[in-house]
Structure 1
Amino acid sequence: MAQSDLADRADVEALLHRFYGRALIDEVLAEPFAELRATGLDAHIPTMCDFWETVLFRAGRYKGSALAPHLKVHQRTPLTDRHFLRWLQIWHDTVDEMYHGPAAERAKVQAGRIAWAMLRRLTGDDAPELLVRATG
């Protein structure tokens, strides 16, 4: 059962650990996440915490390009709407399981927007269901 809302970096880190624990072994996402699985999460989690803290709380911690690492993944394993929809499903399920409140809802909406934009930038394809999933 979901507890309180996302409130700080510790909450974001807990969410990311649980999310990646699932995503890294998911049959749809296993191949795109193969390199991350091989190198481990230790270097990845702090960057992702910076990213999500900036998205959710306007912390201003993330200064990089979210597209660049995904472009490298896409070059190794072409990403499709199927990958982004599965990523979004796992994200929603994990958020809903752990948190409840405005920040948790914002995390889901923003994830849908990010997934939609990333798919468009990487492939030129449109997947409105990513946005619908985020808001509906």
Structure 2
Amino acid sequence: MSGPDIVDRFDVEALLRRFYGRALTDEVLAEPFAELRASGLDAHLPVMCDFWETVLFGAGLYRGSAVTAHRDVHQKTPLSDRHFVRWLTLWNDTVDTMYHGLAADRAKVQAARMAWAMHRRLTGDDAPELDAFVGR
């Protein structure tokens, strides 16, 4: 049963910890996340919290480029639509398990938009499975 809505950084961090706890050991995502797993989630968590606080609440904390960060991953382990669909599936499941409300819905919508755009920018290709998943 999901709880209340996402309202602050504490909620964002709890969501990210649970999500990445699953993603880092997922059979589809384990290889792309190998470097993050090796360096440890705690080192990267403040950046991800800044990113999601900015996406969800307009906090203006994130100043980096998500595409640049993922381009490095893509060069080491080519990311396919299969990776993005799995990432979104785990993300949506985790959000739905923990939260419900406008910010939780926004987290899922924004994740789908970002996954679709990230895939296009990294691969230059359409992905029918991803397009269907995000409703394009």
Cα 1:85–1:105 shift into 2, 3 Å: same
Provide the rounded CA distance (Å) in 2 between the counterparts of 1:13 and 1:130: 26
Q: Tell me which residue corresponds to 2:26.
A: 26
Compute the displacement of 1:42 (Å): 1.2
State whether structure 2 residue 47 is matched by structure 1 residue 61: no
State whether structure 2 residue 115 is matched by structure 1 residue 109: no
**Aligned 8 A contact 2:116 2:130 in 1:** yes
Compute the displacement of 1:135 (Å): 6.0
**Aligned 8 A contact 2:116 2:134 in 1:** no
The TM-score with structure 1 as length reference comes to 0.95
**Aligned 8 A contact 2:19 2:91 in 1:** yes
Q: Tell me which residue corresponds to 1:49.
A: 49
RMSD: 1.5
Q: Tell me which residue corresponds to 1:125.
A: 125
Q: Tell me which residue corresponds to 1:95.
A: 95
Compute the displacement of 1:55 (Å): 0.3
Instruction: Count residues with an aligned counterpart.
Output: 136
State whether structure 2 residue 70 is matched by structure 1 residue 82: no
**Aligned 8 A contact 1:2 1:96 in 2:** yes
The TM-score with structure 2 as length reference comes to 0.95
Provide the rounded CA distance (Å) in 2 between the counterparts of 1:16 and 1:9: 10
Cα 1:134–1:106 shift into 2, 3 Å: farther
Provide the rounded CA distance (Å) in 1 between the counterparts of 2:101 and 2:128: 25
Q: Secondary structure at the match of 2:17?
A: helix
Compute the displacement of 1:7 (Å): 0.3
Provide the rounded CA distance (Å) in 2 between the counterparts of 1:9 and 1:46: 10
Provide the rounded CA distance (Å) in 1 between the counterparts of 2:56 and 2:134: 15
What stretches of structure 2 of length at least 5 have no aligned partner?
none
Q: Percent identity?
A: 73
Q: Tell me which residue corresponds to 1:6.
A: 6
Provide the rounded CA distance (Å) in 2 between the counterparts of 1:11 and 1:133: 26
Shift >6 Å, 4+ stretches:
none
